[in-house]
A and B are shown apart, each in its own frame.
Chain A
Amino acid sequence: MARDRYRALGRMNFESPYVDMPHRLTVRQNLRVFGRLYGVAGLEKRIEALAADLALEPFLDRPAGSLSAGQKTRVALAKALINDPELLLLDEPTASLDPDTADWVRGRLEAFRRARGATILLASHNMAEVERLCGRVLMLKQGRIVDDGSPDALIARYGRSSLEEVFLDVARAPAGEEA
């Protein structure tokens, strides 16, 4: 990865609510810029397809800064999918979204993963989201990995009924005394 950094970067993408797209550019302009950065062929068609898929058409020519949080998330997702990545990095992809929009985003991510066969690496504090989207979970505490397994395996290991309860056990256990 360190040696072939730029070869790898073209095959992955990233989305985070803590990173914005240029506010004064329209959604279409932003997608054009990122499409060209990623060397996407047939870019205008790709933008139209993403706009249809992620319901961006009503605001495709509006400045990105004028959009609601939910609309911004969809635009950020379009940017993250513009190069049809094999690896998608997501940082709290549904933070600050209403439950309906968050559920819609999770549905889109599941559909993308199925269709593309892509890997999604997701950082989240929303354990329901992690249970739904993830096949393998790394539990981190103070920057260290303290546990690792599938959602079902972790739930069984901690004798709990949900990943949310596992999270609380890990978070509240004294350092070094996780299961």
Chain B
Amino acid sequence: MTVLTAEIAFSPTRVGALVMRYLYLMRSSWPRLAELVYWPAVQMLTWGFLQTYIRAQAGASGVGGAMAVAGGTLIGSLLLWDTLFRCQLGFSVSFMEEMWSRNIANLLISPLRPIEFAAALMAMSLIRMAIGLVPVTMMAFWFFGFNLWGLGLALVGFFLNLVLTSWAIGLAVSGLVLRNGLGAEGLAWSVLFFVMPFACVYYPVAALPAWLQTIAWCLPPTYVFEGLRAAVVGRQLRADLMLEALAINVGLMALGAAAFLALLGSARKAGALLSMGE
């Protein structure tokens, strides 16, 4: 007779089981693995050469100053933007794998709790992001002499805040897909690009009209990219910016989790979990 040891509390074993499921999947498909590195590498090379060109032009024309500074932060901004985007994509795509394979009902009728499901997706977002971005940060150093890891303590603040934002968005998007079916899956790829112009990835907040600056400062990534410019250009560690971003992120995570739970509950009531499709 099989002995059941299922617990009702949060179970790292169940989180591990789901992570194992995604690692099995990743291992079974080399294109899935290659794709994790491909886009970040292509982007980094493109923006890296652009940065090199802008710096050279700024030097040759004697414009210097602002142009060189703007060019100098391009690779860093790109790598941090990709941290945010790849982390959110890692969360959402792992979730979407359950929808594509029509496995979601099997999971949600098991003892797996929503918080464990979310924890497994968070773990996978970190794993997928690390696989994609760690080699690319090394390429950035070899090709263009940009050392992201050299940002030290500031990088910890950037990373923590971007990861939290990505999870909050991942939770909300996953909830929307649960409730509305795969017709909403495009959100996983597009939602962050709506945020991008206001998050001031490649230019300072001061470049926005005053009324848009207010919106920009509501977004945690804005603080991170301002912090990056302060670190690269001014050699300053802006802990104040990181703490403000963290405070907003705590609120965003609460909203993301509440949205996920509410949309999951709504999907359950509507019987939508067995009829997942376009």
Chain A residues near B (Cβ < 8 Å): 4, 6-7, 9-14, 16, 18-25, 29, 32-34, 36-42, 46, 63, 79, 83-84, 89, 91
Contacts and interface: CB of A to CB of B under 8 A. Distances in A.
A25 B28 CA distance: 8
The 10 closest A-B pairs by CB, nearest first: A36-B17, A10-B6, A39-B6, A20-B102, A10-B111, A39-B5, A33-B21, A41-B3, A19-B105, A37-B110
Given A36-B14, A39-B11, A25 B21 contact: yes
Contact of A19 (B14, B21, B106, B112): B106
Given A24-B25, A37-B18, A14 B106 contact: yes
B2 A84 contact: yes
Nearest to B14: A37
A112 B218 CA distance: 58
A14 B109 contact: yes
B111 A25 contact: no
B60 interface: no
A29 B13 CA distance: 15
A1 B85 CA distance: 39
Interface residues of B, number: 34
A66 to B, nearest CB: 12
Contacts of A83: 2, 4, 6
A3 B46 CA distance: 54
Nearest to A50: B2
Nearest to A20: B102
Contact of A38 (B4, B18, B21, B97): B4
A36 B16 contact: yes
A10 B3 CA distance: 12
Contacts of A33: 17-18, 20-21, 24
Secondary structure class of chain B's binding surface, majority of residues: loop
B111 A39 contact: yes
A63 B27 CA distance: 13
A106 B97 CA distance: 31
A2 B154 CA distance: 46
Given A16-B274, A37-B14, A46 B2 contact: yes
B103 interface: yes
Interface in B94-143: 97, 101-103, 105-107, 109-113
24 contacts: A9-B110, A10-B4, A10-B6, A11-B4, A12-B109, A14-B106, A16-B274, A18-B102, A18-B275, A19-B102, A25-B24, A29-B21, A33-B17, A33-B18, A33-B20, A33-B21, A36-B17, A36-B20, A37-B110, A39-B5, A39-B7, A42-B2, A83-B6, A89-B109
Given A10-B4, A41-B5, A21 B101 contact: yes
B111 A23 contact: no
B109 A9 contact: yes
B206 interface: no
Interface string B242-278: 0000000000000000000000000000000011000
Nearest to B28: A24
B16 to A, nearest CB: 7
A22 B97 contact: yes
Residue of A11, A16, A24 most packed against chain B (CB within 10 A): A24
A34 B110 contact: yes
Contacts of A63: 28
B8 interface: yes
A32 B20 contact: yes
A32 B25 CA distance: 13
B29 interface: yes
B1 interface: yes
